[in-house]
Structure formats: C-alpha cells, structure tokens
Structure 1
Amino acid sequence: MSQQIRDIMTESPLCVQPDTVVTDIAGKMRDQDVGAVLVTDDGELLGVVTDRDLVTRFLADGGDPGTATAGSIASAADFTVAPDDEVSRAVDLMRDQAVRRLPVVENGRPVGIVSIGDLAIERDERSALADISAAPANK
C-alpha cells in the first residue's frame, strides 16, 4: 500500500511575507527549530528560504541581513507536492532536483512541508539520517 505525503509532512509550515527581513527570518527559524520558511503573499506560495540559502548564497556573498528581505533572497518554489501525492513522488523530486525540502501545496496554498529527514524516518527509521532527524534540537 502506497503512502501519501499527508501522512509524513509537517503541517502548518512557517510562512513569512516577502518584506520580512533576513534577521527576522533567521530568528523565527531558530525559535521554531526549522530549516526552511515559505515565502507567501495572500496565502500564495512565492518561494522558499532555507538555512543553507541564508549561509551559502546570502551571507557568503556579503548580504546585509538587516535590510535584505525574504522576497529578495528566496529560491523559487519550482518543485512542490500535493498532500494526496504518493511519498515516492517526493523521493523522485528530491533526488532529481537535488533539493532537501518540498512545499506541500493544496489548491494553490501551502499546507505543509516535507523534508529529506521526514522521508528517512518513514523509509528506514533505523538509518543514521532518521536518527539525526528525529533527535531533539540543539539549543
């Protein structure tokens, strides 16, 4: 029996407006222990900002976190899944597109996010990645 994305996704993903400054994004990510935020406007998904985006694309290029906004640094949300999609679709997309997280979109609105850690826990709960993903956050 195939499993659906809704069975493993994290519901109610952290969303920010396009004008949210990077320092606020980083603080929200820290406070909510997440590695990605979805950038939305009127509930419509515009893009994604990951912890990796913040470090390797933004800070490494000398960006000013006090003035830059989510809308200016977000990656396009080119790859999404629906809650009713099979988990194998997320696996295929992540593998083919070399992404670690996928927004879950229903009727044009983000309703969740699925990560490579979610897939690891689902596919092989005894794997090292599953153990790391299930561990409590370092605070």
Structure 2
Amino acid sequence: MSQDPPRHVRDVMTRPVVSVHPDASLVEAAQLMRAQDIGEVLVADGGKLLGVLTDRDITLRAVAEGVDPLAVTCHAVCTADPVTIGPDEEVAEAAALMRRHAVRRLPVVEAGRPLGVISLGDVTEPP
C-alpha cells in the first residue's frame, strides 16, 4: 500500500489575499469581511504583512471596549506580527502551528509578502 505524498500549504491555501490598509477603519474591515464572507483580513502596507484582524478582534478589542469603530484603525486593533507559514511547508506543519498557537488561520507569507491564508478547514480536508 503506497502512502500519499505530503500536501503543501500552497496547494490548499485560500487566495487571493483579502487585506486592508493599516489606516482603514474597523467599519471598512467589517464591511469587507461581510462582502467576502470571511472572518479575517490581513493588515498590510506596500505588500508587507503587518498583522491579522479577525471579527473577534473587532468585537473584543473595540466594540466591547466602547471605542468608535469609525475612528479606530485596523492597525490599532489587529494582532501584530502574527504566526505565519511559508507556501512550501507541509500542511501537517500548518496544523501543528495552529494547535501550538491556538489559532484557526495562518497567513501564508513568502519574503514578507502575504500570498494567502490557510485555515483549520483547509488542513483537515482529505487530499
């Protein structure tokens, strides 16, 4: 019985990258999430990943604190310097990183540039 070759992140990640400028308001980010039917956007400037902003970040770090979502920037609320993975890493490594850091999604980055996102659903789907 032959074993399947390892799957790589680039083969299962979601593209294209959905990102916002660091100075975008939380309302802009939330509207983009709704339009794209996603729970996370990457915060990037000039093609460089600065952070990750999730719907949960908006809820807990902004709305629950009573801040004006039109006045606060995405960069102020996002998770800066997120855990990332490279496109040529194996899917099993992505799963291990998600487990270790208790996250459901990882930005896929190459040379500092975001290429896509790999989610928990991507790593658990059969090949």
Q: TM-score, normalising length from structure 1?
A: 0.84
Give the letter aligned to residue 63 of structure 2. L
Q: How many residue pairs were aligned?
A: 123
Map 1:97-116; keep pairs closer than 5 Å.
Answer: 97-116=101-120
Give the root-mean-square deviation of aligned CA atoms: 1.2
User: How far apart are residue 121 of structure 1 and its match?
Assistant: 2.5
Higher relative contact order (CA 8 A, sep 6+): 2
Which residue identity lines up with residue 38 of structure 2 in the other structure?
A: V
- Answer whether contact 1:77 1:103 (CA < 8 A) is retained: no
**Structure-2 residue corresponding to 1:31:** 35
Gaps in structure 1 of 5+ consecutive residues: 124-139
Q: How does 1:4-83 map to 2 (within 5 A)?
A: 4-83=8-87
Once the 2 structures are TM-superposed, how far is the Cα of residue 43 of structure 1 from its aligned partner? 0.5
Percent of aligned positions that are identical: 47
Say whether residues 1:119 and 2:123 are aligned partners: yes
Moved over 4 A (4+): none
Structure 2: any 5+ residue segments left out of the alignment?
none
1:57, 1:105 → 2: CA distance?
25
Indicate the structure with greater helix content: 1
Deviation of 1:50 after TM superposition, in Å, equals 0.5
1:90 CA drift (Å): 0.7
**Residue pair 1:80, 1:104 contacting (<8 A) in 2 also:** yes
Contact 1:23 1:66 in 2 (8 A): yes
TM-score (norm 2): 0.91
